[in-house]
Structure 1
């Protein structure tokens, strides 16, 4: 790293700070215990993806001899060292929090036991469970001259076993074998209740297998058994010139199994012989971390969800309300013809989107349905409705993004199902991911055709719509409808760049449109007027966008950024960014909405977007930014942004040195996600 402080925060180090903010939620004693357990799981899942993609990419650069300094002042080798040190500390803190959560759960009557703590009844029960359920699934894998080292699957849990024969000479080589802990079985095994006790007790599956490990190696003694887990490079380079993109992606997915080793996690105290074998066979030296506790705490998510009762250890239940605009109607088209409708998930139900598509699928006057599909749930109502629409003779076009990382296999399955139903399935544009969230319905009404559009900030996924905060807009505005048709024509056919009337569309003009909107605020300040920008997103890492915000700050524009995750901008630097404030909110729901506000001399404008301000979103994806024309809905979104800006409980403020501190709480505690539950408090009535 260069000696001076860079003008920018490094993207990957900023991500590490974000995951530490997630960890803080697991450490926060003000959060219910089972919710803290879930945050521990999220930390693990986040770190897995970060290692398999971002750290893997840095590792590849180092191996290729790439040593150029990036715009934040780091070489790949220098960044790798900082990241490994930072993430190792994060894991240390995570397991400290895990032990704290376990102690708290123990006081509430929930415990994860070691095998040595079980009474006779419990021991008999787990023995039966092992022999009847677990043993038939296990496969011992010996390693010797005739049996080569087996494939170790990424992010799966294994036991490394050292063995010896009772009759072997003391100086004979120890034998090595592996056993995969089956992920098809629950990681935690419930135990029978103790006499006169209502405690819920469990043992971990790997501990159970270790207890009976000798049954897998008849006649041999297992004298050292320790868990390990490998993370492989999960990124791949796609040949988009291949004749069949779907087959090419399936081929690359198979290659993922053999990705280069990136990280090896081992149980603390692993026998040095076993560790040496793993390091040698997996060809990993540096990114090795000893874990003082169970490997892979992502199981805590299912653990927290599976325990019945204990509502006092969870957040209060929050049932999404059905949007009031559609409450008393069976005809959603009639409502949207009269006015635009805004939805704020998860406070308002995603069922309205499902109902809209189902109504369109059965309406005889609907001629065509077009939509993008990036990540959908495992049991998608939308997919079923689209299939039914196609089978009834409607023109149904679905842009399925096959390159949505870690959802490739699911999207391939959806694509095939939709094609069988008669839908026209498109895989997007070569070299670009289609990340825009848009749904278009073309309906015949009297002597004309009318377009109905839904645009959103989040995926068409009814599962994540209960966990993420996102905005959706229904509209029949003709300008938006015209742009929507043009967008689908560009993605599905051949088309020269379109002169967008309402939308900003990446990669052709979204960044330029944002620059024009920011420049307009600069011009207002130059004319003696107020200049103000509020932007809410997941990540900000594009250097040109950061520089444009610096320029606006220097011109006197007041800028509030609500950035949940990565932020490469340094706020509060004299002469550069003293007019910029950045906050991050990490709370019960994942903040996922992208909303942009521009004061525009009092003629305020608000936009919804699918795009974060990252290079990949602005330059390498099909993204969409859509204006909100209705004045009442604009004010609703401004209210929502103000809820975030007033948060003094779960908001953290970014410092110029790249660290975050909790917003100072001098006033009455204000938690934006809890306040947003009171829909009338932010939704402007018409």
Structure 2
């Protein structure tokens, strides 16, 4: 096969993933307000894709780089295809938006325009504008004496075209332009007082209110036109870590530069005045990548809007109340349980409070000497950060590896780092040139005259908020090999130690990929010898070429391969002579599938691992990532059950075709929705592989 036919392009695969998210917004069987949430996610995903991936392609074009990648695309050709496909997606997105709004109106909530308001409602909204909105607005004129202002990325603005109302006749023939930022500090949707005896809830967009009252900002001028627009800039940080004396200060400087990154995309309201459009395109130096939007710009506001609607719980999923892990409910403390057995937890069905309690208990325990932890993305008002600070203040050795380079969480992580440093924690910013993406906590405790290590290894971030929205697994253990490796890993991240012989872990960037290759090679050997040979891997993305080639090799040797890949997948399954033994499914549902799990048959003695890493080049070669074995046979079976549950999903699973398209698996039997069936924690924790029958 030609190279381009062996692989699916990463960025085009990502667009297909976002299309699957959009399909969830279109799914009439889902609760209405949940469909609004998915529509918001489509916009948020597209914003990040444009500001990072498309920006990177444009960087290559500016540098004159036009070589093909391993999927056969040049930056120029790929950019053209991306823009064509995203334009189609945006049109479909706004068609869905209008359908959802019509459905919401039938339920009793409506987003109206100014013309739909009664006289009484107009007075109420005018008063709101005077009291709340007007004092925050800043009109920015654009003329010879006042240069074009800096427009922040992904902020909503209004372009106002004006004409003098009085004075020189020559001036009254001229058009002037001004820009007004729609303040993001105010709610995007405003609740309008209802008409008398009205049962429905009425809302008005903030930008529509400002448009109607815009004349108050420009006395002496006639408003010709007012249209919304939005610019997306390159938001990737370009850090010179080798030359940075203080990484924290270097990142703060780059965050300020992010606001001035070159424009990647311009979104404008449909029908924008020609003078305003020409001015924006000229000043932003953008001509082709202009998206004309038939509807409100930036649909990310729909998430808060849908969440704020009151008395509409029947249009949402019933809330899931995470259960506290059964193993820990048997004891007042966590550490005594771990001395007896390992414990596996599955979020969001099992509560993240178990992780919080693990750290808090260690912070309060006088026999605990040290706590070491990695932090990548942390929630606001994190219990963990407060517990770590408390432990340091009580005299314990607390070491925290904070990843400042976690994209779009840099400012929050800087704040946590400073707070921890003030409390006396040893804060380390990782290794030069590498992101620290491993999720691990080590607690060292004095027991019976010796030291014992307790470890938590997870597939997701130490973040209470995302633990309610993402599916992730976490392992609590005091296995001596895992404890020894945990100590060695922290020594490597904080000092100059480079261990050469891991007992349990495989660690990127040096050891993870060779370990995965070794596991796949062993399965190939089993297949050739006629023994059971199977690989089941669950991850967010698969895009590393050499990893894909190794899977192709395994398929050709007869290894049965099942991949559960939520997002990007550059492997082309089901191709005769190449990948006929590979099946790839993607599950997009209520929760974001985030766990990374690997199971190999081992020739009949199954091995199971959990990991922080996707099988992407950045994870395997440019990050500190972790692959951890699960030694307890009962816990291995739990994870195998969970993988089987995913593989048998026939409601929300979509299967990747050789063409690169995804099709729904379809109901060939009784419906099985893995996320909803997984809510029965005792079931998947205790029932042994019933689905394999």
**Of 569, 577, 580, the match for 2:579:** 577
1:48-59 matched pairs, under 5 angstroms = 48-59=47-58
Query: Which residue does 2:691 correspond to in 1?
Result: none
1:213 corresponds to 2:210: no
SS of the residue 1:553 aligns to: helix
1:32 corresponds to 2:31: yes
CA distance in 1, matches of 2:3, 2:589: 34
**Shift of residue 664, structure 1, vs aligned partner:** 2.5
1:450 corresponds to 2:452: yes
CA distance in 2, matches of 1:4, 1:634: 38
Query: Which residue does 1:178 correspond to in 2?
Result: 179
Query: Which residue does 2:232 correspond to in 1?
Result: 231
User: Which blocks of at least 5 consecutive residues in structure 2 are unaligned?
Assistant: 689-693
What's the TM-score once normalised by structure 2's chain length?
Answer: 0.98
Instruction: Report the count of equivalent residues.
Output: 685
SS of the residue 1:6 aligns to: helix
More deviation, 160-169/55-64: 160-169
CA gap of 1:4–1:532, structure 2 versus 1, over 3 A, is: closer
**Of 253, 276, 279, the match for 1:277:** 279
Q: Residues 637-677 of structure 1: CA distance to partner in whole angstroms, max 9, x if unpaired?
A: 00100110000010000001111010121111111000001
1:102-501 matched pairs, under 5 angstroms = 102-167=101-166, 169=169, 172-241=173-242, 242-501=244-503
**Shift of residue 3, structure 1, vs aligned partner:** 8.5
CA distance in 1, matches of 2:293, 2:607: 51
CA distance in 1, matches of 2:198, 2:30: 27
Query: Which residue does 1:502 correspond to in 2?
Result: 504
SS of the residue 1:490 aligns to: helix
**Shift of residue 286, structure 1, vs aligned partner:** 1.2
SS of the residue 1:576 aligns to: coil
**Shift of residue 196, structure 1, vs aligned partner:** 2.2
Runs of 4 or more, structure 1, over 3 Å off, are 2-5
**Shift of residue 273, structure 1, vs aligned partner:** 0.8
User: Which blocks of at least 5 consecutive residues in structure 1 are unaligned?
Assistant: none
Query: Which residue does 1:671 correspond to in 2?
Result: 673
Cα pair 1:467 1:590 within 8 Å, conserved: yes
Cα pair 1:486 1:498 within 8 Å, conserved: no
**Shift of residue 172, structure 1, vs aligned partner:** 3.0
**Shift of residue 5, structure 1, vs aligned partner:** 4.8
Query: Which residue does 1:11 correspond to in 2?
Result: 10
CA distance in 1, matches of 2:331, 2:208: 56
CA distance in 1, matches of 2:191, 2:617: 47
CA distance in 1, matches of 2:37, 2:196: 30
Give the superposed CA RMSD.
1.1
Query: Which residue does 1:72 correspond to in 2?
Result: 71
Cα pair 1:497 1:508 within 8 Å, conserved: no
CA distance in 1, matches of 2:285, 2:381: 40
CA distance in 2, matches of 1:328, 1:128: 59
More deviation, 462-471/675-684: 675-684
Q: Residues 570-609 of structure 1: CA distance to partner in whole angstroms, max 9, x if unpaired?
A: 0000000000000000000000000000011111100000
CA distance in 2, matches of 1:319, 1:570: 39
What's the TM-score once normalised by structure 1's chain length?
Answer: 0.99
**Shift of residue 7, structure 1, vs aligned partner:** 0.5
CA distance in 2, matches of 1:452, 1:68: 49
1:21 corresponds to 2:20: yes
SS of the residue 2:228 aligns to: strand
Cα pair 2:453 2:478 within 8 Å, conserved: yes
1:36-47 matched pairs, under 5 angstroms = 36-47=35-46
